[in-house]
A and B are shown apart, each in its own frame.
Chain A
Amino acid sequence: MDMKKQVLSAVLAAAFVLPIAGCGTGGKSTGETTTLRVAVFDRGNAPDGMSATENIWTNWINEQFGKPNNIKVEFQGIPRNQEVEKINMMMASRNAPDILLTYDKSVFFNYAKNGGLADLTELVGGTENLKDFMGDRWKYTTYNDKIYGVPTKVISEGQYCSYIRKDWLDKLGLEVPKTTEELYTALKAFKEKDPGNVGDGLVPFLLSATSFSEEYWQQNTLSLVMSFVEPMSEEEWYTIPQIQYPGFKEGVRYLNKLYREGILEQDFALQTNWNQFDENIAAGRAGFYTHNRNYQLTSNGAYAMLLQNDPNAELVAVDPYVNKYGKRPKWRGATGGGYIMIPSFSENIEAAVKYLDWMANNDVGFTLLNGNEDEHYKLENGYPVVIDTEYNNKTKFNNADLALIYNGFDYGSFENNVEAMRIAMPGLGELRADSMIKANSDLYNNPMDDFDQPIESYIKDKAKLDKKFQELMIKSITASESDFDSIYDGLAKEYMTIGGDEVTEERKAVYKKCSEADILPKDNPLINY
């Protein structure tokens, strides 16, 4: 019987031992060459036979940069939408590539603060191209006077642009609106005369509650509301939350008026993603909207679908929100662009900086972004024009991601960059170039972006404050005329007690420090200097 018991145990033991046979650490062969591991976004758009990590251009990089420097560049794909999860996982296990990219500012500052990132101050100082290439952008990746990462170079910083149905205006015999009042007249006419014969679904002014985020991501409303904000003192701008800015409430009141008159999207509060918004554009039910510059202006975006549904439709970029002082203030957007990080435990910190430095060479950047002349593009007035989009999608599908430090190519001046945009894309180029011009007037920053350190209390309470901000916007816009003040003031007060006050206090202290160190920009159209 004892024997029997042993066999029975053996059966059980087999269940536990068998899986271990599958494990086994594959030893890494280390030769003379350094292996540099670089993360690249995998957007799942690789054509057959190639992948985001192995294609013509990763080979090209190894040929151009790798060979001469005796470095093997190995790419590691990161699914674009799981970037943060994956980075956290790899950082925690100290198994991250030598170069990582995130667009999430808090991820960057978190790791910088906790010692997860290499201090690059000295290495960057010694680079040939990279240091000057970024110019004053280094402030975006500086924490406690040390450089902990490499920003990306954003060419067009203006975030928002407005679009209106030109064909509707033409039918009504109206000009393209240049002021808030003219816009109101146009929208009112859209509502009353329905020039597109839309009927019930007509939405003169599109809005989705998705856009209400406290940290300046208010695609649909921020430009309008900010045109009501009165210029203030520098201290006010940098310390109080935006809902307390003089005039902010008037801006929201204006939205409330549009809502009550049926001009504003009536169902906006129910929308938690952009589906309905896009649908209204594509189906030709929308007269006007403000959103990210170039929003849905791609070859299969909502605008292209609108043109398929109605070939006579025409959207034009407009810039109607103007304040009393003739300014058209606009948000500069996420100023740092992406954040390129090198983990502190990386064994190839120097090689990593060298790689980025190599990339900062203009010729390298130009070729990497545009491909080869006469194969991928031909030059027109010195600007590249795509020859065949299909061909490019097959042969250089992720070059923009490989060109880590570039967020668009700089042709030397804003005008040149606009021109390049106009030429690059037949069809939509004109509208995109126009959007770029309109989005870049009178720019201002998110005040907290100008500080050289993150606001801890804000990071802590961000989710809570965000929610309260949303509630304030939605309830105020949908309020009746008589209730508006009490609702807005009540929620603004709640906002302050659940964390707004604490944030203000901390911002005051940080502002004082930054002001004394003289690091704040002096070109904000909303500050009385």
Chain B
Amino acid sequence: MNKNKIKRSLGERTFTVVNTTLIILVCFTCLFPFIYELAISFSSGAAVMSGKVSLYPIGFQTEAYKKVFQNISMWRSLVFTIVLTVVYTLLSLTLTILCAYPLSRKRLYGGKWIMMLITVTMYFHAGTIPTYLLVYNLGLIDKVWALILPCVLNTFNMIMMRTFFKSVPAELEEAAMIDGCNDFQVLWNVMLPVSKPILATIALFYAVQRWNSFADALYYINEPKLYPLQLKLQQIIQQGQADNMMSDINSQLDVVVPKTVQAASIIFATVPILLVYPKLQKYFVKGAMIGAVKG
């Protein structure tokens, strides 16, 4: 045993053991749904339906994935969702910056009032049907814009960014102005370069939000070509739950999607965001810290 090592007391060691066990258990609880779906997606239909599958596949097969991969509409949805997420994130980020920066400066005339008006929207919503009516009357039904504009600026994200901007010393700004910068130049040349962490965080917030939401697509989109992946997924899963209303005779036909294919679809839709997430995770942590520090 290394002599230099500080000997730890029994209490400390017990703590470490108990702590590690607990953390592993918690981790497992979070991972279990993924493992479970993964196991199901590789198991035989009979084994799944009999409730035999939990941690590892039984009756190994890859038919379910073949079905998902061969489904062109899944790929189309995937590509569409990626494009949608990128466009949405860029647009949202731009607008959030344009809104947050002026509101972070004391020089803005009436800034407090504008801020208050904006904050109100964080607590009071118009409700589903009025929102739908608005979107409808703007002529956005069945348009990609219906998935972008109604949620293009998230008040909470904007406030977080404003808080960060506020924490940037006013002296920096003043120095730039003395050098002859106008507000746009200050924003572009001074503020944005020092705000990279918050930009990354907010971008990630927007991207994940867009990737995971399907309710707006459900309401505003009737055209199957514009179905984002999550709506497509939701449709597949719901279809798997046999309709018990027998009066809907069609639900008795073979339209029910087997559980294995459902699981394979879930994995298909989850993997892209899983691949991106770990790389950006550190910003998430930072983002939470930024929100916590009062500017």
**Footprint of B on A, CB under 8 Å?**
4-5, 7-9, 11-12, 14-16, 18-19, 22-26, 41-46, 48-49, 51-53, 76-82, 85-86, 88-89, 92-93, 95, 103, 152, 154, 159, 217, 219, 273-276, 278-279, 282-284, 292-302, 305, 308-309, 333-334, 336-338, 389, 393, 397, 400-401, 407-408
Contact = CB atoms under 8 A, between A and B. Distances in A.
Contacts of A8: 102, 105, 107-108, 183
B242 interface: yes
B239 A45 contact: yes
B128 interface: yes
A502 to B, nearest CB: 27
Given A42-B224, A51-B224, A278-B49, A9 B256 contact: no
Contacts of B254: 298-300, 389, 393
Interface centre among A9, A52, A401 (most CB of B within 10 A): A9
A15 B99 contact: yes
Which 8 pairs across A and B sit closest by C-beta, in order of nearness? A25-B139, A283-B50, A44-B235, A308-B46, A15-B99, A282-B49, A334-B247, A279-B51
Contacts of B225: 51
Interface string B196-234: 000000000000000000000011001111000001101
A79 B44 CA distance: 28
Interface of B is mostly: helix
A284 B232 CA distance: 33
A5 B224 contact: no
B36 to A, nearest CB: 13
Given A9-B102, A89-B219, A4 B183 contact: yes
A5 B50 contact: no
A408 B252 CA distance: 11
A19 B152 contact: yes
Contact of A46 (B50, B137, B224, B246): B224
B187 interface: yes
B148 interface: yes
B250 interface: yes
Contacts of A159: 246
Contact of B218 (A82, A273, A309): A82
A80 B98 contact: no
A49 B101 CA distance: 47
A103 B245 contact: yes
Interface residues of B, number: 75
B138 A333 contact: no
A9 B94 CA distance: 16
A24 B72 CA distance: 31
B102 A4 contact: no
A305 B95 contact: no
Contacts of A284: 50
Contacts of A296: 242
Contacts of B238: 79-81
A25 B242 contact: no
Interface centre among A8, A93, A293 (most CB of B within 10 A): A8
B244 interface: yes
Interface centre among A159, A295, A305, A336 (most CB of B within 10 A): A305
B139 A24 contact: yes
Contacts of A88: 129
Contacts of A337: 247, 249
B45 A77 contact: no
B45 A308 contact: yes
Contacts of B141: 95
B248 A309 contact: no
B136 interface: yes
A51 to B, nearest CB: 4
A192 to B, nearest CB: 24
29 contacts: A4-B107, A5-B109, A8-B105, A8-B108, A8-B183, A9-B108, A11-B183, A19-B152, A22-B145, A23-B149, A43-B239, A44-B239, A45-B257, A53-B222, A80-B239, A80-B251, A92-B129, A95-B141, A274-B242, A279-B49, A282-B49, A283-B52, A299-B254, A300-B256, A301-B242, A308-B44, A308-B46, A333-B247, A334-B247
B157 to A, nearest CB: 13
A24 B223 CA distance: 18
A338 B235 contact: no
B96 to A, nearest CB: 8
A4 B173 CA distance: 13
B239 A11 contact: no
Contacts of B101: 11
Interface centre among A5, A19, A77, A92 (most CB of B within 10 A): A19
B84 interface: no
B246 A293 contact: yes
B280 interface: no
A22 B73 CA distance: 27
A393 B254 CA distance: 9
Contact of A92 (B95, B132, B218): B132
A440 B166 CA distance: 74
Contact of A89 (B94, B129, B138, B140): B129
Given A9-B109, A77-B224, A294 B184 contact: no
Given A282-B50, A300-B45, A400-B249, 8 more contacts: A12-B114, A23-B145, A26-B143, A77-B222, A92-B133, A283-B49, A292-B244, A305-B45
B98 to A, nearest CB: 4
B139 A53 contact: no
Contacts of B258: 300
B149 A14 contact: no
A89 B129 CA distance: 6
A221 B126 CA distance: 45
Contacts of A80: 238-239, 243, 251
B103 interface: yes
A293 B241 CA distance: 17
A299 B132 CA distance: 40
A217 B247 CA distance: 12
A5 B108 contact: yes
Given A41-B250, A92-B129, A11 B224 contact: no
B40 interface: no
B253 A400 contact: yes
Contacts of B222: 53, 76-78
Contacts of A45: 239, 255, 257
B46 A401 contact: no
B218 A86 contact: yes
Interface string B33-45: 0000000000011
Contacts of A275: 51
Contacts of A393: 254
A93 B129 contact: yes
Contacts of A400: 249-250, 253
Given A93-B132, A305-B46, A26 B139 contact: yes
Contacts of B51: 275-276, 279, 282-283
A82 B234 CA distance: 11
A407 B249 contact: yes
B246 A309 contact: no
A81 B153 CA distance: 30
A5 B108 CA distance: 6
A12 B103 contact: yes
Given A15-B95, A53-B224, A4 B256 contact: no
Interface centre among A44, A78, A275, A292 (most CB of B within 10 A): A44
Interface in B148-164: 148-149, 152-153
